[in-house]
Structure 1
Amino acid sequence: MEKGRSSTLSTPLFFFLFFTLFLSYSSLVASQNHHNITAVFSFGDSTLDPGNNDRLATVMRSDHPPYGRDFARGVATGRFSNGKLVTDMIVTNLGIKDSVPAYRDPTITNHDLLTGVSFASAGSGLDDLTANVGNVIHMSTQLTDFQQCLNRIQSTVGNATSTEIIQKAIFSVGAATNDMLFNYYDLPTRKAQYSLPGYHNFLLRNLENFVTSLYKMGARKISITGLPPIGCLPIQSTVGSITPGPNMFQHKCVEEQNSDSVGYNANLQGLITRLEASLPGAKIAYADIYSPLMDMIVNPKKYGFEQTLRGCCGTGYIEMAGLCNSMSIPICEDSSKFIFFDAIHPTEAAYQNLANSIQKSVLPYLVN
């Protein structure tokens, strides 16, 4: 009698527990994999450029070895790294596609556009002078390319579906590093015209106009990347080592430039708050790359890095773009031990850490 009662009660209890666990697991999987993001479009500089410069008459190209040596089939696509960029990793993790292609790649089809492309151009910036120096694609021209892209999408799926794709897409904007490098520090053209706060304000006004234009073209989910610790880029620590001062003959981070980056990023966050309040329905997120990159530099062993202020290519102190080529000797054997691949740009391993950080801090806000 007691045995029968125990058996009768345990069976529904078992199924109840099983069903509860099943629902919990299903909810967890759904929360991890379900999202309404349709595409990722990117604008800015080399950190987001997968090869838009490949057919330009510019030195700001990376469509040659050793760039891309760890990319699919070892192809140098025009990405300034040994492998994928952050946006490539994000679209993969979102299950959208394997990578974000360059809009100016002649093989891109209208179908490719539906899930996003990049309009970014290595060497570009928020200051038109920056793109002029490198003979690359201006930010305003990137907007023109996007309008052309919109027209192609509309002709493919119609206006209603096109609007839905754009409103549910993530727009990634990353620029200003080249402006500071080319026009304020190493080629101080703007330094003769602006104080540091004045130049920062000039760049942020241009960024505000750019984001507002994107909004008018339908963008609603926008991620804006801040400045990295510019003083820790290998090229800047090298310049600092030959400049009279506390770091002369030493490869160390230029703390003043890092402090400048922190100040810019603080102002950028203020701008984002104001922009989001003034653009109904917009979600605008600050993508912090300063903190995670600085943590990699200060705590390299935590991430498996052995080299922090020297790139993988050649000496690692000055080589980038055309100077980083198959004749640059030596080329490191294992890029994953280096934070930087050339004198400015991170390795795929470093980009992966940045992507992980952005996935935790930015995507939850834009996806929901």
Structure 2
Amino acid sequence: MAYYASYSITLIHLCTIFAAASLGNGLTRPKFSSILVFGDSTVDTGNNNYIETLAKGNHFPYGKDFPGHVPTGRFSNGKLVPDFIASMLNLKDTVPPFLQPNLSDEDLLTGVSFASGGSGFDDFTTALTAAIAMSQQIEYFKVYAARLKGIAGEHEAKQILRDSLVIISAGTNDFLLNFYDISTRKLEFNIDEYQDFVLNRLQIFIKELYDLGCRKFAVSGLPCIGCIPIQITKSLSLKDRKCVEDENSDAKQYNRKLARLLLKIEAMLPQSKVVYADIYDTLINLINHPQKYGLKETNKGCCGSGLFEVSPLCNELSSTCDDPSKYVFWDSVHPTEVVYKYIAKYIKMEVLPKFQFDWDI
């Protein structure tokens, strides 16, 4: 019986690898065994449902356009980028949160999300939001790795981690909560210094995952922070709602530093591939040229007034727009499903192909 169980697990793993390898237009695709996700609300598929925090998306109208029209804890009207990527790689239709009870062996074999809405690389960030700190996400990953070993055996589990696509999307909350809106860190750093502080924490985070067996990393840069509706509202731009250019300029500076840093990290970590995902340009393109993509509203969310409602303030009593697919933002912070889908397409076309190589191990 043990032989047949082991055989079945190995077969599932091999099938996911070969399916991913044959993805799209006959082109060779990266051989990812699973998808592992770390970060904030942009990639939290429901972990915040299971912790004490105000930052939750487990109530209507969140999930309005998710399969079954149910709120899952995702901070959008539907699916997130990891869900679309997992589907593109033929791994699964959606990525479950690691804290979800009763995860199946197949769920664990093909990947989970450890992300938490409100998280960031700076410990001050999660002190304010009561989210799952990035350091705690590492601890949950260690538990996951042990469970994976119990399912697949030590050798197979090690190979699954090596072949996993690791998505890291965080940093926005650090700047929103600690620099622009509450200014906690302004007492200690200027913007240039704080960027370096956050990037150093990111480098440590990647190294920890590498030491635990991960090798393939896709790391998201900051979005155009100044175009997030709540930031426009806080700038008191109520009539002429324009992006806050200083915050956008800071985000671009951070992203330039990040792109350079990731090359250095890759060079320091043997047999690793660390790829930068330029979310800024993808999102700003949708905002600047909405008609080209069938979009209409770019500076306010679909939920409520769209000016300030997010998480608990975007609730069952809130009105919603008639057609979220015409909106860039779902609430005053988070994009709509259609925008996440565009970002996922960018990752498929521009990021994943950079993993096309083989290692002689």
Task: Give the TM-score of the pair, scaled to structure 2.
Answer: 0.91
Counterpart of 1:306?
296
Q: Any conservation in 2 of the 1:313–1:331 contact (CA below 8 Å)?
A: yes
Find the partner of 1:360 among 349, 352, 359: 349
Counterpart of 2:90?
95
Matches within 5 A, 1:58-69: 58-69=53-64
- 1:302-327 residue CA offsets vs partner (Å, 9 max, x unmatched): 11111001100000010000000010
Structure 2, gaps ≥5 residues long: 1-21
CA–CA distance in 1 between the matches of 2:192 and 2:338?
A: 34
Counterpart of 1:251?
241
Counterpart of 2:207?
212
1:73 aligns with 2:64: no
Q: Any conservation in 2 of the 1:126–1:206 contact (CA below 8 Å)?
A: yes
Distance 1:203 1:325, change over 3 A: same
CA–CA distance in 2 between the matches of 1:250 and 1:29?
A: 43
- 1:125-178 residue CA offsets vs partner (Å, 9 max, x unmatched): 000110110111000000000000000000111011001111011000011100
1:171 aligns with 2:193: no
Matches within 5 A, 1:215-226: 215-226=210-221
Distance 1:220 1:127, change over 3 A: same
Counterpart of 1:50?
45
Counterpart of 1:344?
333
1:89 shift after superposition: 0.3
Task: Give the TM-score of the pair, scaled to structure 1.
Answer: 0.89
1:35 shift after superposition: 4.2
Matches within 5 A, 1:1-368: 31-32=26-27, 35-240=30-235, 242=236, 247=237, 249-328=239-318, 330-368=319-357
> Secondary structure of 1:54's partner?
helix
Q: Any conservation in 2 of the 1:110–1:152 contact (CA below 8 Å)?
A: no
> Secondary structure of 2:47's partner?
coil
> Secondary structure of 2:110's partner?
coil
1:31 shift after superposition: 3.6
Aligned residue pairs total 336
Determine which structure has more spread, i.e. the larger CA radius of gyration: 1
- 1:30-82 residue CA offsets vs partner (Å, 9 max, x unmatched): 74475421100000100110000002111100100000111110110000000
1:366 shift after superposition: 2.0
> Secondary structure of 2:36's partner?
strand
CA–CA distance in 2 between the matches of 1:62 and 1:363?
A: 29
- 1:82-115 residue CA offsets vs partner (Å, 9 max, x unmatched): 0110110011011111011100001312331110
> Secondary structure of 1:59's partner?
coil
1:249 shift after superposition: 4.8
Amino acid at match of 1:56: I
How high is the sequence identity, in percent, across the aligned residues?
43
Q: RMSD of the alignment, in Å?
A: 1.4
> Secondary structure of 2:317's partner?
coil
Counterpart of 2:7?
none
CA–CA distance in 2 between the matches of 1:128 and 1:144?
A: 15
Structure 1, gaps ≥5 residues long: 1-26
Q: Any conservation in 2 of the 1:285–1:365 contact (CA below 8 Å)?
A: yes
Q: Once superposed, which parts of structure 1, at least 4 consecutive aligned residues long, lie more than 3 Å away?
A: 27-35
